[in-house]
Structure 1
Amino acid sequence: MNHGTILEMRNIEKDYFGNKVLKGVNLTVKPGEIHALLGENGAGKSTLMNILFGMPVIHTTGGFNGEVTFNGSPVALKSPREAMDIGIGMVHQEFMLIPGFTVTENIKLNREITKHNAVSRVLGDSMKSLNMTQMEKDARKALDTLGIGIDEWAKVAGLPVGYMQFVEIAREIDKQNIKLLVFDEPTAVLTESEADTLLQAMKKIADSGIAILFITHRLDEVMSVADNITILRDGELVAALKKEETNVTQLAELMVGRKIEKMAQRDHDLGDDSNIVLKIRNLEVEMPGEEVKGIDLDIRKGEIIGLGGLAGQGKIGIANGIMGLYPATGEVELSGRQIELNNPKASLTNGLAFVSEDRRGVGLLLDSSIELNIVITAMQMKEMFLKKLAFFEQADAKHIREHALKMIEDLDIRCRGPQQLTRRLSGGNQQKVCIARALTLSPNVLFVSEPTRGIDIGAKKLVLDLLVKLNKEMGMTIIMTSSELGELRSICDRIAIITEGKVEGILSPDDSDANFGLMMAGEYKKVHGKEAV
């Protein structure tokens, strides 16, 4: 055992219901080291950190295999409280602050310092007062370590999000026994100057002997502060490097590199930029966690274009904004005709259709039949499948059944019949029902968001094959948003990478792994000095 290490994770394996998400991963961190942990969405970073922090999701799903040693001793952490007790802290992406409390109260929450008063001396310790003077002094020290000028007595409510991130970090470094800090995308909500301040603070923290695990997609930050780098891909360890042994381009390639199997040969001419079916200009969308901050994009008639990028960068927000599910501004033009934003009916009736990433929450009526799910939007938006009677309309059951049976056959939806509840279908077949509903609208352009999320590998291929079939046989223009870069590269004609709410660039699916990785990390223009178009 190497006692020069603070953390050793050996041969870590984890599966969720048969799906192996970590495959023999090793990780070693030394005291006072800044160790970067890199990987695409779904690479296994979060699962590895959940194991380290004793998160309940690990233990309620069968635990994990492998060994974790902390500060020279084997540990089997069952809860975040146990992790904190031995000196592991984590700064999460999602804020865990109480808005109505002051900065000091948030930093000292559950670790308050108390002092005796006249009543407590008689009635006991439970009547002690808060020692606000000492608490504010400690809070000030933690904030000064970070180099941030927040007033320790200020309320958290109303603080800029960047300052909230610093309060989260100050709370962790104020803990007396802290030996290892995990930073999960800590600069994601910070301005450039705030990010620089944080990186300098991380160096100061490390210089004090505290180890830092730094999870980020910003490769320039990695090269700026990290000592060592571990890269995961598809649940496997692909590289463990010293910073001096690598560069931004190699890191980008290692993050995304994999064999790409083309699912279909593109055999049609998409034409030039005069063949534009959908024109998007200065699109901004207020979708929490997926904000779009000024997208310009032209979609060519008859293509499959992919929207890729890391989680939280805005790719999901594009379709949701255009289809009116979240507040949006800008201009969207379909075949020369302006589409009214913030109006789902306008989008649907003008030739757009959408298969949502949230098929259970938005895409399906789970306790209704397959046939009703297929026709419901067309009934509501286009008054299809209705029989007009003297004073009212009613559903045309015969027409609905005929259409549903055709869709079930055409899309190969595996079911007992059109009356089966969609809740009883497999994930892949539920996704096909969502696509059938969209196709029933006879759209000119189909948005498909995360079409293979949560379905098994066999069903994924069936769904992707279906999208290719719709594109080739019906000439349908498809805009596919996915966190699975390999899937985008397997079926798309072009792929637009979205970074920090904007188009970082557009690549061919055959472009290099390095270029895809650089774009996803927002480093392409810095390395190449130009945009990819």
Structure 2
Amino acid sequence: MDEKNYMLRMEGISKDFFGNQVLKDVTLRVGKGEIVGLVGENGAGKSTLMNILFGLPVINQTGGYQGKIYLEDKEVNFASPFEAIEAGIGMVHQEFILIPGFTATENILLNRESTKYNIFVEVFGERLKTLNREEMHKRAISAIEKLEVQLNPDMLVSEMPVGHRQFTEIAREMDRKSTKLLVLDEPTAVLTESEAETMLKAARKLANLGLSVIFISHRLSEVLAISDRLIILRDGQVVRELESSSTTPREVASLMVGREIKEDLSKKSIEFKKPEIVLEIKDLWVDMPGEQVNGVDLQVSKGEILGIGGLAGQGKLGIANGIMGLFPAEGEVFYKGERLPLNNPVGVLSKGIAFVSEDRRGVGLLLDEPIDLNIVFTAMQIQGRFIKKLMGGLIKWRDDKEIARVAREYVDSLQIKCVSEKQNAKELSGGNQQKVCLAKAFVLEPDFLFVSEPTRGIDVGAKSVVLETLKRQNREHGTTIVMTSSELEELRSICDRIAIVSEGKIVGILPPTADPADFGLLMLGEQKEVKAGV
């Protein structure tokens, strides 16, 4: 392609953080109206490359970068995201950048609000113009309609299901008339299959109108389906550029990780002839925004991995969050025959139950603290571990040597990519942050573990590590695990049974070997049509 036909050229980009080389001589080119897929393991450098393009302050604050960037053949070097937006670059980030207390409309039009004249403008100037709510509402609806989704423009972001928040971010970029290049960073990670299909259609429609798109995703089938070309990063370098139509997910996965990937994780074959019920949930109700848990009944057998699946907003995430006391809950939960205290997180944790939240940044991590402290923090607070004592506990101090030893052990076993265990959690990629959350739970040595969306935003190689780690924790330590996931195949790969939630209730429980169509019917609330026993 002639250089004049490229919307974007990033030439010879290199970058290091704290002595750690994360990008080395990377070249990425995107044609006008082209969708380029960018894939790689967590820590491969995808987010850093996009942060450089978007002018995020963290890049200049850490010494800048080497190489050159050309937008429509004009060299650029953005000092801030505002400059990038002004030049026509939009980005939908993996972690939402929305104001929870604002409506969808207010977030979509933030800093680009429609205003109207009033008499005070004559005296005090343009700053006294008032918001034209009617016009803003029309603009928001127009942007939403381009996505062809059901999104209430007047709903507060704090009350939205996660999938709707993603659509709000994308609609915000669609309202910007000047956008020439759109970066979609894991846009379907939190979407259901139907929502993801809608989003992909919208991206293709934008490309057909001449908008250039960089599409970052760990769902390889989606990347191959939507992109024209594929660029594969590994360890901060481009290892291959492929035509999407001439490759396969297996080939891409092997190039990403530099090793063969098994097609499927081996399924467990444990039979529970006379299961011992370790957790019993009776008529559980949870008040969690965007979720509905309306009278859940469920029994969990000792030593099993039980999966919980279902469509977004149907209640699958609310079950664990309610039991762990993060949101108001009513009903009865019995653990080892003893009634658990609801709405009491410390009380639940003290019983030997751990939780890995789907919200790693908001709940799971202390972002401004080092990895080692994140890993041991809950064990210190709840179990009193990693603390030395004198005079009967009158004098206490942290056992930094033991904290460092345990942290290094988990960094190695979970393959957490970092400079050292002293690196701050906020400096890690999303997938490595998720691994720290798992280590934080494992160090508690729990008898029972709730884990929600453990591989959200994690690439195929890291996903294998995380799932194998959960299997090992279950097999070697006897930990009973309840795993919630939006990925049905992920649940089928390691779970003994899979419970499906629809409209706030468990509508059926199937073995992982059941027909995929039966799982789909249960998710749609059509349990009468399911042939397998539920």
Q: Give the deviation of 1:499 after TM superposition.
A: 4.3
> Any conservation in 1 of the 2:14–2:23 contact (CA below 8 Å)?
yes
Question: 2: CA distance between counterparts of 1:189 and 1:374?
Answer: 30
Specify the alignment match of 1:69 in structure 2.
70
> Any conservation in 2 of the 1:229–1:242 contact (CA below 8 Å)?
yes
Letter paired with 1:216: S
Question: 2: CA distance between counterparts of 1:296 and 1:81?
Answer: 52
Question: 1: CA distance between counterparts of 2:161 and 2:353?
Answer: 37
Residue by residue, what CA displacement relative to the aligned partner does 1:352-393 show, whole Å, maximum 9, x if unpaired? Answer: 789997589999997xxx9x999885569xxxx9xxxxxxxx
CA shift in 2, pair 1:134/1:225, >3 Å: same
Question: 2: CA distance between counterparts of 1:318 and 1:428?
Answer: 34
> Any conservation in 2 of the 1:323–1:341 contact (CA below 8 Å)?
no
Letter paired with 1:456: S
3-state DSSP of counterpart to 2:3: coil
3-state DSSP of counterpart to 1:62: coil
CA shift in 2, pair 1:213/1:238, >3 Å: same
Q: Give the deviation of 1:45 after TM superposition.
A: 1.7
Question: 1: CA distance between counterparts of 2:251 and 2:515?
Answer: 12
Structure 2: runs of 5+ lacking an equivalent: 262-268, 358-363, 424-431, 433-438, 456-461, 475-480, 496-511, 520-534
Percent identical pairs in the alignment equals 38
CA shift in 2, pair 1:211/1:419, >3 Å: same
Specify the alignment match of 1:227 in structure 2.
228
Question: 2: CA distance between counterparts of 1:97 and 1:145?
Answer: 20
CA shift in 2, pair 1:273/1:68, >3 Å: farther
Q: Give the deviation of 1:28 after TM superposition.
A: 1.3
Specify the alignment match of 1:389 in structure 2.
none
Specify the alignment match of 1:143 in structure 2.
144
Specify the alignment match of 2:79 in structure 1.
78
3-state DSSP of counterpart to 1:251: helix
Question: 2: CA distance between counterparts of 1:282 and 1:230?
Answer: 47
Equivalent residues in 2 for 1:428-467, closer than 5 Å? 428-429=404-405, 431=407, 452=416, 454=418, 456=420
Question: 2: CA distance between counterparts of 1:241 and 1:329?
Answer: 53
Residue by residue, what CA displacement relative to the aligned partner does 1:480-505 show, whole Å, maximum 9, x if unpaired? Answer: 99875686669975899974276524
> Any conservation in 1 of the 2:10–2:69 contact (CA below 8 Å)?
yes
Letter paired with 2:251: Q
CA shift in 2, pair 1:348/1:525, >3 Å: closer
Q: Give the deviation of 1:327 after TM superposition.
A: 8.3
CA shift in 2, pair 1:65/1:102, >3 Å: same
Equivalent residues in 2 for 1:360-399, closer than 5 Å? 397=390
CA shift in 2, pair 1:501/1:287, >3 Å: farther
Question: 2: CA distance between counterparts of 1:253 and 1:494?
Answer: 26
Letter paired with 1:504: L
Query: Is 1:44 matched up with 2:20?
Result: no
3-state DSSP of counterpart to 2:4: coil
Structure 1: runs of 5+ lacking an equivalent: 261-269, 386-394, 402-417, 436-447, 461-466, 509-523
Of 16-25 and 114-123, the range deviating more from structure 2: 114-123
Specify the alignment match of 2:502 in structure 1.
none
Specify the alignment match of 2:112 in structure 1.
111
Question: 2: CA distance between counterparts of 1:129 and 1:318?
Answer: 44
CA shift in 2, pair 1:480/1:345, >3 Å: closer
Equivalent residues in 2 for 1:162-173, closer than 5 Å? 162-173=163-174
Question: 2: CA distance between counterparts of 1:321 and 1:340?
Answer: 12
CA shift in 2, pair 1:159/1:490, >3 Å: closer
Q: Give the deviation of 1:102 after TM superposition.
A: 5.2
> Any conservation in 2 of the 1:162–1:189 contact (CA below 8 Å)?
yes
CA shift in 2, pair 1:322/1:79, >3 Å: same
Question: 2: CA distance between counterparts of 1:501 and 1:169?
Answer: 22
Question: 2: CA distance between counterparts of 1:176 and 1:278?
Answer: 58
Equivalent residues in 2 for 1:220-299, closer than 5 Å? 220-258=221-259
TM-score, structure 2 length as denominator?
0.60
3-state DSSP of counterpart to 1:178: coil
Question: 1: CA distance between counterparts of 2:37 and 2:288?
Answer: 27
Specify the alignment match of 2:213 in structure 1.
212
Q: Give the deviation of 1:15 after TM superposition.
A: 1.8
> Any conservation in 1 of the 2:279–2:334 contact (CA below 8 Å)?
yes
CA shift in 2, pair 1:432/1:116, >3 Å: closer
> Any conservation in 2 of the 1:12–1:22 contact (CA below 8 Å)?
yes
Residue by residue, what CA displacement relative to the aligned partner does 1:100-119 show, whole Å, maximum 9, x if unpaired? Answer: 55544433322234454444
Aligned pair partner of 1:500 in 486, 498, 506: 486
3-state DSSP of counterpart to 1:6: strand
Letter paired with 1:429: R
> Any conservation in 1 of the 2:281–2:334 contact (CA below 8 Å)?
no
Question: 1: CA distance between counterparts of 2:351 and 2:131?
Answer: 62
Q: Give the deviation of 1:162 after TM superposition.
A: 3.6
CA shift in 2, pair 1:457/1:186, >3 Å: same
Question: 1: CA distance between counterparts of 2:78 and 2:279?
Answer: 49
> Any conservation in 1 of the 2:286–2:330 contact (CA below 8 Å)?
no
Letter paired with 1:3: K
How many residue pairs end up in the alignment?
442
Specify the alignment match of 1:408 in structure 2.
none
3-state DSSP of counterpart to 1:188: coil
Of 321-330 and 188-197, the range deviating more from structure 2: 321-330
Letter paired with 1:49: M
> Any conservation in 2 of the 1:115–1:130 contact (CA below 8 Å)?
yes
Equivalent residues in 2 for 1:307-346, closer than 5 Å? 340=340
Letter paired with 1:21: V
Letter paired with 2:405: N
Question: 2: CA distance between counterparts of 1:148 and 1:82?
Answer: 30
Question: 2: CA distance between counterparts of 1:50 and 1:288?
Answer: 33
CA shift in 2, pair 1:84/1:493, >3 Å: same
CA shift in 2, pair 1:162/1:69, >3 Å: same
Q: Give the deviation of 1:99 after TM superposition.
A: 5.3
CA shift in 2, pair 1:15/1:277, >3 Å: farther
> Any conservation in 2 of the 1:428–1:456 contact (CA below 8 Å)?
no
Q: Give the deviation of 1:177 after TM superposition.
A: 1.6
Question: 1: CA distance between counterparts of 2:287 and 2:416?
Answer: 21
Specify the alignment match of 1:388 in structure 2.
none
Q: CA RMSD in A?
A: 6.0
CA shift in 2, pair 1:428/1:130, >3 Å: same
Question: 2: CA distance between counterparts of 1:47 and 1:185?
Answer: 14
